[in-house]
Structure formats: structure tokens, C-alpha cells
Chain A
């Protein structure tokens, strides 16, 4: 039982973090906060991937004389790509927030809804 928990808590903590981020995205009305929540969600997914790639006693996947056991380089590559995709989405999302503020005068979801309905 103890072994099972030690072997899996990394996954569970990353799931907990994902859900914190996910909750921030779907429950909060502030447009900046949503984007930050999204970032937390994504970074936690990266943690899950890197947890999958780790090999006990392994070293970083850079060839070194005399080292036999390396961590899995493939998830590292995938996550490098995903980090870049994440920052690209964040930049675009924030640019939209700036424009929404200019057009509505607020970045709170319910106030925006009200403004659109009173028109």
C-alpha cells in the first residue's frame, strides 16, 4: 500500500493542481484570472508528462560517458512544444482582454453580459 502511494502521489498532486486551475477557469468571472487559471492547468499537465518520463536513478538525457540509465527524452520534447503553445495562447488571450477592456470598460464577465443585454 505504502509503495503504491509513493509510486503514485506525483500523479495525484498534478491532478489536484490541474483541477485547481480548471476550477479557476470555469468558476471565475475575471478575464485575467481565467487566463492565469488556464496557465496553472497547463503547467500541471506538464508535471504529469514529466512524471511519466522520469526513470528512477536515471540522469538527464544528455549523453555522458559511463552513464547507462537516462530519463525518457520524448515527453521532454513534447512538453517543450506545449510550453510554447501555452505562452502563445496566453499572449493572444491577454491581447483580447486588453481590447475587451477598451470596448466595454470592464474585464468582469457578468458586467460584460449586462452591457451587451442592455443595448
Chain B
């Protein structure tokens, strides 16, 4: 019963935040609220036993997305949303009401929340729960489904991230066409000695944590994606404290671009190797002496590819946004 209680409270908080996001016009406040919305959702995911999802949502929604949104309003120098006096507010409203009504109609014969006899719980999924540990040797079933049973989806996911990197470079990587006054550059924060000392302590810790998440994903929540996000967050922190130029001296953008490609190539390459060894694409079993050993090695390698690609792409995206404000 206590879980139902927490669930209801969290859902109410989330609903209030969402309505506030809709109604407010100050963009900075909206973005902060979105960070909270995302963080509350992550807590709810954790309550509903989706620990990996919670971890990722917190890192991505409350972390990366929020930072990018803040960078955007800094670059576009827009603080407030203009409230338009459109005469056609009834149209979006009726679209939304109809869509919502259709959805509610669709949920009327959904199995009750938490029902262990629901079709989703009795077909396909039990196989993973019964066999995954034995077939892949990993206790975290989410990792084994993610990296092996549905490893091809995850390859697609890495490619989506890579595509976003390519797209952002195509859009913002070039020369600034219209230069306007004012500096949005993330300036070197010379005055705050404390900030710099704290950062110097924190960054190595974050990096160590990222490595732990990368290689511990087999056993607990985590994996390449989360590790990549955390590692890029460490460098983002470094950039915010020591400035863009210092960050680019630590990791030159050209190296990052190569790393981004390398990550995707590692994942794709593992699949090609499995074909050459006589298996199907991404069938890791052929990589080792035993099936389980092969699975283990394969998952380790592809997670490494994911980590490298995600780290490099997210950092490229951030640095490109930040570099756009350079005078």
C-alpha cells in the first residue's frame, strides 16, 4: 500500500509541474521546471522497479537536455515566450481532447496496473526472466536484453545518437553567418577559486564513477549509455569552470569526432566479426570458447562502443553549442 501512496504523490507532483510548464512564459523557469519534471519522472521509474530507465532519464532529461535547452536560450537571448492572442485556440484544444479521449477509451480494458497475469507479463518476457541469466551469464536482465537479445535495436540507438551529432555539426559547426553583439561565451570563471578547487576534486571522481557504471552495468543498473553521459558531464563541468578553450585543449574536437565514429564502428564491427566467425549478425556466442563466454565478451565490447560513441557525441554537441556563442 505504501508504494501506491508514493506513486500517487509523485504522479500529482509531476502533473502539477507539467501544467506549470505549460502555463508559464519565463523560459528559464520553464526549463528548470522541465528538469524537475524529468527528475520526478525518474524517481517514479525507480519506484516502478525500472532502475536502468530511472538512471538514464535522470542523466539525460534532467542533465543533458536541460543543459542544451539552457544553452539555446542563452544563444537566442530569449527570456520570455510571447503569448500570442491566436483566435484559433479551440482547434489545438479539441485535437488534444479527442486524442486524450481515444486514449482513455483504449485503456478501459487494459489489465490493471501491476497485474502479473497481463499478456505483456506472460508472453516473451518470461523467457528473458527464466533464461537470460543462464544464456548470457549476466544478472542484469535489462543489460542482456539490451545488448544481446535486442542488440540490434541498441545498435540503432547508437546510430541515432551519432546522427544527432552529425546533424548538430552540419547546423552549427560552420562559421557564424550573422554575428551579433554580446558575448554568450562560457567565460573562464577566474574569480571563483573555490569553484575551481571543488571542480578539480569532483571531476576525477565523476570519471571514476563513469568507469564503474560502464563496467558494472552487467551486474547493477548502468552500462555504456549511462557511462557515456556521465563522462561527458564531467568534461561539461570542466568546460563550465575552466572555459571552452581549456576544454578543447584537453580534448580536441577533431579527436572527439573520430571517437564518435569509432564507437559506432566498434559496435557494427563486432557484428561483422560474428558473421566472419560463422554466426549470424551480432551473435556473440561464436566469439568465445563457450556460448556464455562469447556472450560476455560481445556484450562487453558493444557496451564499450556505446560508451565511447555516446560520450563523444554528447560532448561534440555540447561544445558545438557552446562554441556558437564565441565572438
Contact = CB atoms under 8 A, between A and B. Distances in A.
Contacts of B84: 29, 108-110
B246 interface: no
Contacts of A102: 176-178
Contact of B104 (A3, A15, A58): A15
B128 A73 contact: yes
Given A46-B41, A77-B145, A88-B163, A33 B81 contact: yes
B103 A54 contact: no
B326 to A, nearest CB: 13
Contacts of B129: 61, 70, 73
Interface string B38-82: 100100110011111100110011001100110111011110011
B247 interface: no
B92 interface: yes
18 contacts: A7-B114, A9-B11, A27-B92, A32-B27, A37-B21, A46-B53, A55-B114, A63-B139, A73-B125, A77-B150, A80-B56, A80-B146, A84-B160, A84-B310, A88-B160, A90-B65, A95-B172, A101-B75
User: Which range contains the number of A residues in contact with the other chain?
Assistant: 35 or more
Contacts of A99: 171-172
A106 to B, nearest CB: 8
A81 B92 CA distance: 29
Of B75, B115, B156, B164, most buried by chain A (CB within 10 Å of CB) is: B164
Contacts of B18: 17, 20-21, 40, 44
B181 to A, nearest CB: 13
B219 to A, nearest CB: 8
A79 to B, nearest CB: 5
A7 B113 CA distance: 5
A33 B120 contact: no
A75 B145 CA distance: 10
A94 interface: yes
B31 interface: yes
A4 B112 CA distance: 7
Q: Is the interface of B mostly helix, strand, loop or mixed?
A: helix
Interface of B: 4, 7-8, 11, 14-15, 18-19, 21-22, 27, 30-31, 34, 37-38, 41, 44-45, 48-53, 56-57, 60-61, 64-65, 68-69, 71-73, 75-78, 81-82, 84, 86, 89, 92-93, 95-97, 99-100, 103-104, 107-108, 110-116, 118, 120-121, 124-125, 128-129, 132-133, 139-142, 145-146, 150, 153-154, 156-157, 160-161, 163-164, 167-168, 171-172, 176-178, 219-221, 225, 310, 317, 320-321, 324
Given A76-B53, A88-B164, A18 B154 contact: no
B69 A94 contact: yes
A22 B34 CA distance: 15
A78 B146 CA distance: 8
Interface of A: 3-4, 6-13, 15-24, 26-30, 32-33, 35-37, 39-40, 43-44, 46-47, 50-64, 69-81, 83-92, 94-99, 101-103, 107-111
A62 B221 contact: yes
Contacts of B99: 19, 22
B183 to A, nearest CB: 15
B113 A10 contact: yes
A99 B81 CA distance: 18
A32 B68 CA distance: 11
Contact of B161 (A18, A21, A35, A84): A84
Nearest to A56: B114
A73 B19 CA distance: 31
